[in-house]
Structure 1
């Protein structure tokens, strides 16, 4: 028992010493990183390499033992001051976010470990046209079915925002849409508007708060409505995929999108593309469609199994269109027999950026919400549709989908 008490006493002493040491570490952490208050020397031998919206500045570091980093301070638009830093391991600092293609002053400081700045060195940079101003003149806003179609080119693939304004009769404006992204080719639609003249405005902004000028114009959206799915009917052709598991084609327009219902499903081992053919019950100029793929359920179906990854839609306005063997791929507008290629599509990857097999709950929610795809405005009216799946997320020999809704003008 005495030895046990001695052991407990020793343990208490060790614990107390450890606690005291930990406290000492916390207290010493707040001490200045350096007591050397000497002012660092200047950066020298400065060179400038301009790029769109910014510049790289290279230099020789001063021979100062307590140097920690180089600081660049500059105004990007005459008002906003921006700072960037580069450690003493590098001889280059990047300055960016400039609003225009013009000369700007950048002030460089060498900074010590005690946060003492050197004397300033002023460098002149002349950045090329910033990305948001490259995008702005390429933007076009035109009438689309039920709304406004926005197109443009973002050649540098920078994260930029297109801000769409709705302008009232008294010329006051409100933001009606904000679209951010870094893809090169911009092509999207803002929908939900009646076919009446609407005055709009649009401008481009970037991550630094720079804003382009605003362009105003008046557009008149085309009439659009969802086609009546109770008029759809199966129109089976010989080259259509063989149905499997009781997931017959009419389930593709029964209004049920959850994973617990049936959809359209072809048999494994079939030839690709896997095709489903059906009639619309009316001739219509089609604007877009929404496709609901099979979401996660008893298994992780989203971004897997027979869900379409690459697919196309073919149409016909013939009274009784004949069968035709569709290719795995063909340019939009290609005519084969009674059928015309009305659009080629790639289902978007998981929004999380993860690999399809590792998709998240939020990715599955994206699948459950349905994804909208546009038809080209140049397409003719049709009264029959062929959904042609070239490849699936599992690269298998079958395809499936839960639901398909089609929009357009049947008048």
Structure 2
């Protein structure tokens, strides 16, 4: 009797398992067969959009329209041909009555077909419109670009009033005299500049090519000189081993925590200077450059002892002024007795909030904050006075400072 009961129970369990297995397979198959089908299905073609207005914009077209009175309207689709001859489309939800087409690389008239599409993927008859885009952003930026002599190379400056995301290939000649890309800048800033350096002060060819995200390219851009050549301004990197430590009465202590004064001049990005944070601003450092010089530029690197974790944050210098003197004005360090060389501010390229860093920001971090001097003033003593930090910290930390210029014989 016990055996019979157990046998019946086992059979019942096997039956339930088989039933459950069949049900699951059926459901999965049904889902697979119908997963691409609209929730609502009919064959009624939606009405066309009406009262279309086409407005040319730089590199594109703004298109506004009245939506048809179809309750199941899903989106409006624009189909067009790109500058490269490829068919493309843009969709706009039925919650909007406009769409935008971007990426045209010329100003010739474009034809666009507009369709209404409902939830059953039924497509209306096309409405055909046309318009001629305004000058593409790449062309506008190209016309603004200037290539001029800079210390040790050439300076590239341009305007990007539309804040178009672009890349710019900065080029110069190689050993064979051929143009090659030395650096690529990615940016959407309004006004931007960049430099190629490390070249002798002899005539040299520099050039640039601008590209947008739609693969529209500018012409190759050269300096506006008769022979397209640029003569880099002479400069040399100052020898940091010749520097001497100077501590004036109002200087801060840059040896606090894991910091050390000389870490600022050791060419090691993993070492840092660090103040205690218990002195009023500005926090000042003074250094004897070891010779009389006229500075052309200098760079300040933020704290890099832990990679990029402290980028544009922590106690990294945000606003500071730099001063110079040929002879020490006095041990009291009164800044009024020093020559103000430059008012500086560390700028984050993307402008994104604290804690958010783009690739452009990180590239800038590793390159350092660079400042050039408009006037060649002969000095021997240099002062670095920090007024604020990136996150408002009371202390200051940084990795490296480097100078370029000419030694006065």
User: TM tier, shorter chain?
Assistant: 0.7 to 0.9
SS in 1 for 2:253: coil
1:308–1:400 Cα contact (<8 Å) kept: yes
Where structure 2 has 5 or more consecutive residues not aligned to the other structure, the ranges are: 223-227
Q: Write the deviation string for residues 179-223 of structure 1: whole angstroms up to 9, x where unpaired.
A: 221111111112232322112332332222222333322111123
Q: How far apart are residue 8 of structure 1 and its match?
A: 7.5
CA shift in 2, pair 1:51/1:279, >3 Å: same
CA shift in 2, pair 1:169/1:405, >3 Å: closer
Distance of 1:337 and 1:35 partners within structure 2: 83
- Alignment of 1:180 with 2:186, yes or no, is yes
Q: How far apart are residue 229 of structure 1 and its match?
A: 0.7
Distance of 2:314 and 2:121 partners within structure 1: 58
Q: How does 1:5-154 map to 2 (within 5 A)?
A: 5=10, 10=16, 13-14=19-20, 16-31=22-37, 36-64=42-70, 67-77=73-83, 79-101=85-107, 103-113=109-119, 115-154=121-160
Task: Look up the match of 1:403.
Answer: 400
2:50–2:66 Cα contact (<8 Å) kept: yes
- Alignment of 1:250 with 2:262, yes or no, is yes
Q: Write the deviation string for residues 34-74 of structure 1: whole angstroms up to 9, x where unpaired.
A: 76445443221112233322232111233456643322122
- Alignment of 1:371 with 2:371, yes or no, is no
Task: Look up the match of 1:340.
Answer: 340
Distance of 1:139 and 1:381 partners within structure 2: 32
What's the TM-score once normalised by structure 1's chain length?
Answer: 0.81
Where structure 1 has 5 or more consecutive residues not aligned to the other structure, the ranges are: 327-335
1:203–1:214 Cα contact (<8 Å) kept: yes
Distance of 1:383 and 1:16 partners within structure 2: 88
Q: How does 1:155-304 map to 2 (within 5 A)?
A: 155-166=161-172, 173-216=179-222, 217-245=228-256, 247-258=259-270, 261=271, 263-295=272-304, 303-304=312-313
Which one of 377, 382, 386 corresponds to residue 383 of structure 2?
Answer: 386
Which is worse superposed, 14-23 or 38-47? 14-23
2:75–2:93 Cα contact (<8 Å) kept: yes
1:288–1:372 Cα contact (<8 Å) kept: no
Distance of 1:207 and 1:364 partners within structure 2: 20
CA shift in 2, pair 1:127/1:364, >3 Å: closer
Q: Write the deviation string for residues 369-388 of structure 1: whole angstroms up to 9, x where unpaired.
A: 46241323434243221111
Q: Write the deviation string for residues 153-190 of structure 1: whole angstroms up to 9, x where unpaired.
A: 11121112323343579985433332221111111112
Q: How far apart are residue 151 of structure 1 and its match?
A: 1.0
Q: Tell me how many residue pairs correspond in the alignment.
A: 394
What's the TM-score once normalised by structure 2's chain length?
Answer: 0.81
CA shift in 2, pair 1:32/1:293, >3 Å: closer
Please report the RMSD computed on the Cα atoms of aligned residues, expressed in angstroms.
Answer: 3.6
Distance of 1:169 and 1:397 partners within structure 2: 50
SS in 2 for 1:283: strand
Q: How far apart are residue 280 of structure 1 and its match?
A: 0.6
SS in 2 for 1:142: strand
Q: How far apart are residue 241 of structure 1 and its match?
A: 1.2
